[in-house]
A = this chain, B = another copy of it.
């Protein structure tokens, strides 16, 4: 670990829809926080201008002098080269080979560190969240997709093509009736929602019909959470199945990497809460090898939505203080 910095760092979580940002004070607390729509349709110039606008607003809101800020970290969705700050491919933003780090440095007049958004979230949970103190850990974020980040021996692990952590694309059901299925095909919000929709359309009763006003294309995490609060049997079954697949996939990673800690986050986890993580943990314990590894902590994210922002700021702090 780099030595404690006396400066503040800006953290940005760049998504396809929203740019979320915050300033992490020298005390390790998120001092100010804000967001803007990404407007990715406008192209890279538009997005860069909006990031700059948001950064300027945060600095103003925080009452910080430029010299008090050590730099900016940004997590972007997709394939990133963390060494050059290049976004290799980001389908959500429709960017290919865009030099995000260099472009942003010119625009915000401070050093910039770029990483994958999921890696930033994993780093945040490792240094300031539920993974604190565990030098080997996996963070899994369950939302419209399923992403993962690995900290091994106290460092983010990137692998040869910088693509490490893709637990969502591991195969869990090599013999599926409908062909092989990956974790993402089985347990992402997209697939939970699709399965619920199909079951409801096949006349399985569910409060979700009423909750969505019959528009089953709108099954978001909040709807799932509401249906579970109302103990809707169909939703409970579909969500428990998804938790089971997550438990198996996490057990596979822990078995392979002998990990003492797994942090589960993302929109679905935030919405479904503790009981969902407990379901994941139950299946995990049945599958992990050797038995000793059932002691591995499988816990909910502590930073929630802020993991990406805090992690990006902490990545900048670590890399710029090296």
Contact between A292 and B255 (Cβ–Cβ < 8 Å)?
Answer: no
Residues of B contacting A158 in the complex (Cβ-Cβ under 8 angstroms): 258
Q: List which A54-83 residues lie within 8 A (CB) of chain B.
A: 79
Does A164 count as interface, using CB distance less than 8 angstroms?
yes
Residues of B contacting A172 in the complex (Cβ-Cβ under 8 angstroms): 171-172, 174
In the complex with contacts A166-B289, A169-B289, A160-B252 CB distance below 8 A: no
In the complex with contacts A164-B258, A248-B180, A289-B166, A159-B136 CB distance below 8 A: yes
Alpha-carbon separation in the docked complex, A77 to B170 (Å) = 28
Residues of B contacting A170 in the complex (Cβ-Cβ under 8 angstroms): 251-252, 255-256
Residues of B contacting A136 in the complex (Cβ-Cβ under 8 angstroms): 159-160
Does A290 count as interface, using CB distance less than 8 angstroms?
yes
Other A-B pairs beyond A159-B259, A161-B260, 4, CB < 8 Å: A134-B160, A160-B258, A160-B259, A166-B290
Residue-wise, chain A 131-158 has the 8 Å CB interface mask toward B (1 for contact) of 0001010000000000010101100011
Alpha-carbon separation in the docked complex, A159 to B296 (Å) = 12
A residues at B contact (CB < 8 Å)? 79, 134, 136, 148, 150, 152-153, 157-167, 169-176, 180, 182, 244-245, 248, 251-253, 255-260, 287, 289-290, 292-293, 296
Contact between B169 and A257 (Cβ–Cβ < 8 Å)?
Answer: no
Query: Which of B164, B174, B175, B259 meets A257, CB within 8 Å?
Result: B164
CB distance from A16 to the nearest CB of B (A): 18
CB distance from A170 to the nearest CB of B (A): 4
State the copy count for this chain. 2
Residues of B contacting A245 in the complex (Cβ-Cβ under 8 angstroms): 174
* Sample (8) of A-B pairs whose CB atoms are under 8 Å apart: A159-B259, A160-B259, A160-B260, A161-B290, A162-B258, A166-B258, A170-B252, A173-B174
Residue of B nearest to A89 (CB): B290
Residue of B nearest to A283 (CB): B174
Contact between A180 and B257 (Cβ–Cβ < 8 Å)?
Answer: no
Alpha-carbon separation in the docked complex, A165 to B152 (Å) = 14
In the complex with contacts A256-B165, A256-B256, A258-B162, A248-B157 CB distance below 8 A: no
Contact between A171 and B292 (Cβ–Cβ < 8 Å)?
Answer: no
Contact between A255 and B166 (Cβ–Cβ < 8 Å)?
Answer: yes
CB distance from A187 to the nearest CB of B (A): 11
Alpha-carbon separation in the docked complex, A153 to B101 (Å) = 25
CB distance from A276 to the nearest CB of B (A): 18
Alpha-carbon separation in the docked complex, A170 to B169 (Å) = 15
Residues of B contacting A163 in the complex (Cβ-Cβ under 8 angstroms): 258, 290, 292-293
Q: Which of A160, A173, A290 has the most CB of B within 10 A?
A: A160
Residues of B contacting A251 in the complex (Cβ-Cβ under 8 angstroms): 170-171
Residues of B contacting A161 in the complex (Cβ-Cβ under 8 angstroms): 258, 260, 290, 292-293
Alpha-carbon separation in the docked complex, A169 to B252 (Å) = 8
Residue of B nearest to A166 (CB): B255
Residue of B nearest to A261 (CB): B160
